Amino acid sequence: MATPAAPQTTTPNDLIVTSETINAYTIPEPEPFVSFAALKDRIRHHYELASDYYYSLWGEHIHHGYFLTPNDTKEKAQLQLIELLLEKSGLPAGSKVLDVGCGIGGTSRYLAKEKGCSVTGITISERQVEIARKLTLEENGTSPPVSASSNEASMHLGKGSVQFIELDAEKMGDYFPAEERFDCVWISEAMSHLPNKELFFRNTEKLLVTGGKLVVADWFKSEGLGEKEMKDDISPIEDGMLLPPLCTQADYVRFAEQAGLKVHAAPFDISKQVSKTWDISWTLIQNPALWAFAVAQGRDGLAFMQAFRAMRRGFANGTFRYAVMAFQK
């Protein structure tokens, strides 16, 4: 499979990335939200610029790995996370799936190829749609579509199919026609970006068939954190990762039940098994070109890179958590 070229960035010849170099890039105090609309614009801009880097460093699955043995590679661990979600949800093969925040389509392709699912992936980033379609076409050995009107066309993959759409997740409840409903809404590490999570759960209930599943993997803050823990551990993550205030696992259960969904698989905390993701990530980003790119993006770029350390610290301190769960209509 060909790798999309990373954006060209001029790198100073004498830039050597060390802990001292990284520490030299200080970041101002987190900026207060002007509006959630402005935050979404920043998120869209971030993924437009950084998605090629994500792919070149982390592969097609831009999510945590579920590490079960010391010898697990990040690629194996990422697939193990998908399989854990399938196990917890009991999603049947051949299901019709809406993959929300699909990134560059790694999970969508896996569900189509390995489970025969018909998957619609949505993302707020036009660039991610382009990469997702390119990787799918390359995996199929087919050529890109001739006309722009076919950009959202479904593509066969294994016994399943995929299509990718540029769409704000908060608008998904009104985007799909009344006759189009899904067996599953799948959202992995994307809901934490959504300002209005209650709206997401209501839209999900609207789009699911009776008996359909909502499958969730996401980042959370721990219950009952004090002001110092929030400032030291959680605020740098929210700031660097462009997140509205993080929720607890119990918040998601409450939002789901308020929307008329019932718990199918209670929150399953796998913080210990996924935390190695950030050890690997911290090693991968010791790259002069990536830091030069971050510097060029100004405050948001540097805050993002520094948030990698905050993630590691939060997991180590137990203030930052990761869990999977599933709900049913």
| Region of 94 on the Ramachandran plot (φ > 0 left; ψ -120 to 50 alpha; else beta) | left
pLDDT value of position 145: 53
What would the mean pLDDT of 253-278 be, rounded to a whole number?
Answer: 97
Residues constituting the chain:
329
pLDDT in tens, 200-223: 999 999 999 999 999 999 999 999
**Taking 80 as the threshold, does the pLDDT of residue 292 lie above it?**
no
The residue that leads in pLDDT, 13 or 32, is: 32
Domains and CATH numbers, the chain: 33-143+151-328 (3.40.50.150)
Among residues of the chain, what percentage have pLDDT more than 70?
Answer: 76
What would the mean pLDDT of 276-299 be, rounded to a whole number?
Answer: 73
pLDDT value of position 153: 80
* Tokens standing for residue 308: 């990698």
What would the mean pLDDT of 227-252 be, rounded to a whole number?
Answer: 93
**Taking 60 as the threshold, does the pLDDT of residue 328 lie above it?**
yes
The residue that leads in pLDDT, 189 or 23, is: 189
pLDDT in tens, 67-123: 999 999 999 999 999 999 999 999 999 999 999 999 999 999 999 999 999 999 999
With cut-offs at 50, 70 and 90, classify the pLDDT of residue 305: confident
What would the mean pLDDT of 284-301 be, rounded to a whole number?
Answer: 67
What would the mean pLDDT of 220-248 be, rounded to a whole number?
Answer: 93
With cut-offs at 50, 70 and 90, classify the pLDDT of residue 3: very low
**Taking 80 as the threshold, does the pLDDT of residue 293 lie above it?**
no
Q: Please state, in angstroms and rounded to a whole number, the distance separating the CA atoms of residues 81 and 51.
A: 21
pLDDT in tens, 50-60: 666 666 667 78
Residue 157's φ and ψ, nearest 5 degrees, are -150, 115
With cut-offs at 50, 70 and 90, classify the pLDDT of residue 20: low
Query: CB of 214 within 8 A of CB of 257?
Result: no
> Is the sign of the CA dihedral 56, 59, 65, 69 positive or negative?
negative
**Taking 70 as the threshold, does the pLDDT of residue 187 lie above it?**
yes
pLDDT value of position 321: 98
With cut-offs at 50, 70 and 90, classify the pLDDT of residue 31: low
With cut-offs at 50, 70 and 90, classify the pLDDT of residue 38: confident
Residue 254: Cβ-neighbour burial (10 angstroms; 0-12, 13-18, 19+): middle
Q: Please state, in angstroms and rounded to a whole number, the distance separating the CA atoms of residues 246 and 70.
A: 30
Residue 158: Cβ-neighbour burial (10 angstroms; 0-12, 13-18, 19+): middle
**In 90-169, which residue ranges form alpha helices assigned H by DSSP?**
106-115, 126-140
Long-range contacts for 153-158 (Cβ within 8 Å, ≥24 apart)? Answer: 154/118, 157/109, 157/112, 157/113, 158/112, 158/113, 158/114, 158/116
Q: Which of 2-6, 29-33, 75-79 has the largest mean confidence?
A: 75-79
For the whole model, what pTM was predicted? 0.85
- Amino acid 28 reads P
Whose structure tokens read 């690629």?
Answer: 75
